[in-house]
Chains A and B, each alone.
Chain A
Amino acid sequence: MSELRPPFCSRDFPATVEAASEAENWVARQASDMGLGEEAEFAIGLCLEEVFLNAVTHGHANRATISVCAEPHGVIVEFADDGAPFDPTIAPAKRINGPTQDFDIGGYGTGLMQKFSRRMSYRRFEGMNRLVLEFDAGRNANAGPDTLSAP
């Protein structure tokens, strides 16, 4: 059960790479309809792709629920999944430091989420990972956060 206050919308997805792409498009539509601006839309899409693919590839989740809640100056996105426990708020932010040929191809998601969200909070509740990501409206935001698409 989400603790987000209305106005919010929520949608369930199977935890697959194909559904991650669909979820990405759905959240992008919500963010666009809310008039948050391109910068915020970019940040939300980036964080969602990271957390969804983590749940699928590393957490081996079966299902995920995404809830989007409008705020006066931004948006809150809750991502819940039934995969293995993982708290990205305490995971180290990896970065390539200095010129090298010996660098990892993946594992940069945590650092990106920390950089692109205003705040992240996590808890494990009723067998689900519950990650709450907060975003500010972008500099070019152009509408109030009172319009959400139907799921």
Chain B
Amino acid sequence: MDMKVIHGDDEMTHVVLDGRFDIQGAQEVDSRFEELAKSSKALVVDLSKVSFLASLGIRTLMLSAKTLLRRGAEMAVCGASESVEKVLRTTGFNEVAGLYPDYDTAARALQERLAAFSGKKA
């Protein structure tokens, strides 16, 4: 699975995944996700090009979300297909990371949350 990381100048890290988030796909991106979860302030994972998500891919996302939230950072997912979103909602992942239709909406939501957290106006 391809993984592109874009670091914005607004504290936003944009990860674009492309391919199947299956066993092999998860193994290919696991270590990079781990690094990003330890260093990012706000992480948006774009799943619009992900055609499949299962056990190990969910684990990668859950682990990243947990690491980020414990550091006081934020995570969101955008662009999920109907089936991928069904997986995320069935596990309850949407309770710990917001699901948004596109990157701009997700980034705006995370910026507002970060601003609220630091006592500033969005």
Complex contact B87–A49 (CB within 8 A): no
Counting chain A CB atoms within 10 Å of each CB, the highest count among B53, B63, B87 belongs to: B87
A39–B92 Cα distance when bound, in Å, is 20
Query: Given A20-B23, A45-B54, A100-B96: A106 and B59 within 8 A (CB)?
Result: yes
Q: Check if B69 is an interface residue, CB within 8 A of chain A.
A: yes
Kindly provide the distance from the CB of B57 to the nearest chain A CB, expressed in whole angstroms: 9
Complex contact B23–A17 (CB within 8 A): yes
Out of A49, A97, A111, A116, name the residue touching B22 (CB < 8 Å): A49
Interface residues on B, range: 20 to 34
Q: Check if A53 is an interface residue, CB within 8 A of chain B.
A: yes
Q: Check if A24 is an interface residue, CB within 8 A of chain B.
A: yes
Chain A residues, Cβ within 8 Å of B53: 46
Chain A residues, Cβ within 8 Å of B58: 108
A98–B94 Cα distance when bound, in Å, is 9
* B interface, CB within 8 angstroms of A: 22-24, 51-56, 58-59, 62-63, 66, 69-70, 83, 86-87, 90-93, 95-96
